[in-house]
Amino acid sequence: MNAYLLPLTGGILLGLSAIWLLLTLGRVAGISGIAWGSIAGPDRGWRWLFLLGLLLGGLPTHTVLGQPLPDESIAPTWLIAISGLLVGIGTRMGSGCTSGHGVCGLGRRSPRSVTATLTFMTLGMVTVFVMQNLLGGGA
Amino acid sequence: MKAWPALVSGVLFGLGLTLSGMSDPAKVLGFLDITGAWMPDLIFVMGGAVIVTFILTPSVLRRQAPLLASAFSLPGKQLLDRRLVGGAILFGIGWGLSGYCPGPALVSLLYGYESTLIFCLAMFAGMALEGGLSQTLSGK
């Protein structure tokens, strides 16, 4: 089987998930916004259901379909914690993440989302470059 | 508002993230490592997702209202501001440090790894801190 068939199929499912949520409830499938809204926002019910579904949806991949579990990250704990902190601060400040800006926002042709996506993609690549080449591959 | 469609959407999303390899931080870092042993998998994930939303979103938004809610709840902001770019910069750095962004990190809680749990707790802490931090930085 083509090595890129699974990534492509998974990607199409992500797109369909976003379209379904927009079509039925009129909501954006942005995970950072849904996660934060599930504890801080009004209308928590649909957000909790989405997050429950997210976990349920991950199960059959590894049980029914038999995909091997990804290995645990080898990054040290302090780096994981800083990473999570920056992702939390950044996604709220910038109103979205890979899903809200990347998948949904690009689909709406939103200039804000195009800007955000280009920015976080670039910074992700620069960060990996710095870690790998200048700091000796910490991650 | 009926909420059950969100469960369907979540299941599709969780399936998509795990099937595509997005829940594997090594693959994500491999994709971001453009000058090293580059792994193009994520091009296909993002490409597949964006092709679907790019083609279908306009026709959905041409409707008066969603099927099961009274109105579309879309971000109202149009302006490109410092918060948007600053936030995306911080998010990009955080993403590149571990290979985790919010969706993959949350679905990876299934695997029971300590590092994923720490990431998610730190992420929620960051979200909680953001309001106060931004106010301090802007001097309000």
The 10s digit of each residue's pLDDT in A104-135 is 999 999 999 999 999 999 999 999 999 988 87
The pLDDT, as a whole number, for residue A120 is 98
Distance (Å, rounded) from C-alpha B11 to C-alpha A21?
A: 11
Q: Do A57 and B10 touch (CB under 8 A)?
A: yes
To the nearest whole angstrom, how far is the Cα of B111 from the nearest Cα of chain A?
7
Q: Do A93 and B21 touch (CB under 8 A)?
A: no
To the nearest whole angstrom, how far is the Cα of A77 from the nearest Cα of chain B?
7
A137 CB within 8 Å of a chain B CB: no
Q: Do B73 and A27 touch (CB under 8 A)?
A: yes
Please give the structure tokens belonging to residue B81.
């501001």
A76 CB within 8 Å of a chain B CB: no
CA torsion sign for B96, A73, B48, A48 is: negative
Task: Provide the ipTM.
Answer: 0.95
Distance (Å, rounded) from C-alpha A121 to C-alpha A113?
A: 12
Distance (Å, rounded) from C-alpha B2 to C-alpha B11?
A: 17
Which of chain B's residues have a Cβ under 8 Å away from the Cβ of A68?
none
Please give the structure tokens belonging to residue B31.
């994709």
Please give the structure tokens belonging to residue B52.
């679907």
Distance (Å, rounded) from C-alpha A86 to C-alpha A25?
A: 30
Question: Domain coordinates of chain A in residue numbers?
Answer: 5-134
> For A52-98, how does the pLDDT look when each residue is reduced to its tens digit (9 = 90+)?
999 999 999 999 999 999 999 999 999 999 999 999 999 999 999 99
A37 CB within 8 Å of a chain B CB: no
Q: With beta carbons less than 8 A apart as the criterion, state whether B53 and A104 touch.
A: yes
> Best mutation site among B8, B13, B60 for testing chain A: the one with the most A CBs within 10 Å?
B13
Residue with tokens 């931090």: B133
**Whether residue A49 has pLDDT greater than 80:** yes
Question: Domain coordinates of chain B in residue numbers?
Answer: 4-137
pLDDT along chain B (140 residues), means of 10: 92 98 96 93 96 98 96 91 97 98 98 97 97 78
The pLDDT, as a whole number, for residue A139 is 45
> Best mutation site among B54, B98, B117 for testing chain A: the one with the most A CBs within 10 Å?
B98
